[in-house]
């Protein structure tokens, strides 16, 4: 239930993947394209992925979440390509018996994804562009 | 020996292409490979970080490069 | 964007309510009916609400979340009536510029809802039933 | 005076109905009302908690009941 896609992410599809009769809680994180970063107006984002490795790293995150919390199911979808303002870049859904674990596991997953998964984001502004986090 | 290197994001832009063939000494380590690449593309030194993945896994700097390895240059990631 | 309903909750509808161009993060909590609680097999749940007051208390939670975190939009939907296993009892969606705030505000909202909102849940088992938390 | 009381959840079940009309002394407080109700329905004393809401708001025990108040008995809530 890990996917890199150049098509719009269907949030409902991701949530349905983590349905489980033993789950009482589902936490879903949705990362969307904001219209500004540090006061610059963003026009669009471009995501580039090292697909095979990105999927492997996302699988590691899922396994790691399952080892740390009583996760019933977890799904991680990441978009690539050109995204306009408001579009969905990433969706993570986690189901657990109790809610605290769902929040913790989901937050762990997105925090780790941002540190380890080989995906790169270029912000395009009016009259400029910048690879996020590339420079110190 | 000749190795094939994949580059992504800003590293791809600095190097001007996604695929690069490089001639490196036999038994070079990841650390040595990084030095060779940075020598050829000095702008890569300005990046906040740059690591190498081999066969789709992060590796240590002491890892020795083999002829059939899939080598990728990983600039600072920024997914999510 | 607060609702008590006896109809199934449309999760997508709730999420769309919190879309905002200045938001980079949406956290969604979904509470579902589990098939067991403390090792008893649950057949179904029955939710009863003091509708008017429940809506007011949910509005207070939304206002409070907005005062504590930079919440762009928040939506809270709670179901009432008879729910079968796997059905959705509550959906809370929160949009914020950055993800940490979305998680915190959403968790605050569900934690507070469980403490203050006048809604009552009866668990129906094989051969018995029990109002949750009613007795010490 | 006569007051109209709403009951929910287990309190509704113990009292046997959703709506109850009670005769209470004028100027009774919430605390006094609770005592009257518990006297009439002793099983309510077994609950983990029981509070009163007036006009859809939680109120303090010292709050004085007025004739037109919408009074509701709130047993331990368990939504979510």
Say if D53 is an interface residue toward chain C (CB within 8 Å). yes
Say if C23 is an interface residue toward chain A (CB within 8 Å). yes
User: With 80 as the cut, is the pLDDT of residue A39 above it?
Assistant: no
Contacts of C132 in chain D (CB under 8 A): 78
Q: What is the pLDDT of residue D80?
A: 94
> To which residue do tokens 């593309």 refer?
B41
pTM: 0.95
Contacts of A31 in chain B (CB under 8 A): 80
Average pLDDT, stretch C125-136? 92
The boundaries of the domain holding residue D16 are: 10-65
Angle at CA of residue C21, ends C20 and C22, nearest 5° = 90
CA nearest B79 in A: which residue?
A: A119
Contacts of D77 in chain C (CB under 8 A): 114-120, 133
C36-76, pLDDT tens digit by residue?
A: 777 788 889 999 999 999 999 999 999 999 999 999 999 99
- The answer to whether position B22 is within a domain reads yes
CATH of domain A2-125: 3.90.1170.40
Q: Can you read off the two tokens belonging to residue A86?
A: 């408001």
Say if C18 is an interface residue toward chain D (CB within 8 Å). no
A71-116, pLDDT tens digit by residue?
A: 999 999 999 999 999 999 999 999 999 999 999 999 999 999 999 9
Return the residue in A32, A35, A102, A121 with the most chain C beta carbons within 10 A, the one to mutate for interface testing: A32
CA nearest A30 in B: which residue?
A: B80
- The answer to whether position B41 is within a domain reads yes
CA nearest D47 in C: which residue?
A: C135
Say if A118 is an interface residue toward chain B (CB within 8 Å). yes
Confidence label for D32 from pLDDT (cuts 50, 70 and 90): very high
Q: What is the pLDDT of residue C47?
A: 98
Average pLDDT, stretch B19-27? 95
- The answer to whether position B75 is within a domain reads no
User: With 80 as the cut, is the pLDDT of residue A38 above it?
Assistant: no
User: What are the domain boundaries of chain A?
Assistant: 2-125
Return the HEC string of B26-44.
Answer: CCCEHHHHHHHHHHHCHHH
Closest CA to A20 of D78, C10, C36, C14: C36
Say if C115 is an interface residue toward chain A (CB within 8 Å). no
- The answer to whether position B72 is within a domain reads no
DSSP string, D37-77: HHHH-GGGGGSS--EEEETTEE--TTPBP-TT--EEEE---
Q: Which helix (H) or strand (E) holds D9?
A: helix D9-15
Three-state DSSP state, D65: coil
Say if D48 is an interface residue toward chain C (CB within 8 Å). yes
User: CB under 8 Å to C75, separation ≥6 — which residues?
Assistant: C1, C2, C14, C17, C18, C91, C92, C93
- The answer to whether position B14 is within a domain reads yes
- The answer to whether position D51 is within a domain reads yes
Contacts of B80 in chain A (CB under 8 A): 31, 78, 89-90, 110, 113-114, 117, 119
Q: What is the pLDDT of residue D30?
A: 97
Total structural domains in chain B? 1
- The answer to whether position B76 is within a domain reads no
Q: What is the pLDDT of residue D50?
A: 96
CB A33 within 8 A of CB C26: no
Angle at CA of residue D73, ends C51 and C7, nearest 5° = 25
CA nearest B55 in A: which residue?
A: A53
- The answer to whether position B46 is within a domain reads yes
Q: What is the pLDDT of residue A121?
A: 97
User: With 80 as the cut, is the pLDDT of residue C95 above it?
Assistant: yes
User: CB under 8 Å to A39, separation ≥6 — which residues?
Assistant: none
- Axis-axis angle for helices C51-68, C99-116 (nearest 10): 150
CATH for D23: 3.10.20.30
> To which residue do tokens 């394209």 refer?
A33
List subunits contacting chain D, requiring 3 or more Cβ pairs under 8 Å.
C
What is the overall mean pLDDT for chain C? Answer: 95
């Amino acid at each position: 239930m890990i996917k890199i896609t150049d098509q719009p992410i269907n949030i409902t599809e991701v949530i349905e993947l983590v349905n489980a009769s033993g789950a009482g809680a589902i936490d879903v994180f949705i990362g969307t394209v904001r219209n500004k970063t540090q006061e610059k107006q963003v026009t669009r984002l471009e995501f580039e992925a090292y697909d095979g490795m990105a999927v492997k790293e996302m699988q590691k995150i899922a396994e790691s979440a399952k080892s740390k919390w009583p996760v019933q199911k977890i799904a991680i979808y990441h978009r690539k390509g050109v995204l306009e303002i408001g579009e969905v870049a990433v969706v993570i859904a986690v189901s657990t018996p109790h809610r605290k674990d769902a929040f913790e596991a989901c937050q762990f997953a997105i925090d780790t994804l941002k540190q380890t998964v080989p995906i790169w984001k270029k912000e395009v502004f009016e009259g400029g562009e910048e690879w996020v986090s590339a420079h110190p | 020996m000749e190795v094939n290197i994949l580059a992504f994001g800003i590293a791809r832009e600095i190097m001007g292409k996604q695929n690069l063939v490089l001639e490196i000494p036999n038994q070079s380590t990841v650390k040595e490979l990084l030095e060779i690449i940075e020598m050829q593309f000095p702008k890569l030194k300005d990046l906040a970080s740059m690591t190498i993945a081999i066969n789709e896994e992060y590796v240590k700097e002491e890892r020795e490069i083999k002829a059939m390895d899939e080598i990728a240059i990983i600039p600072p990631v920024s997914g999510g």
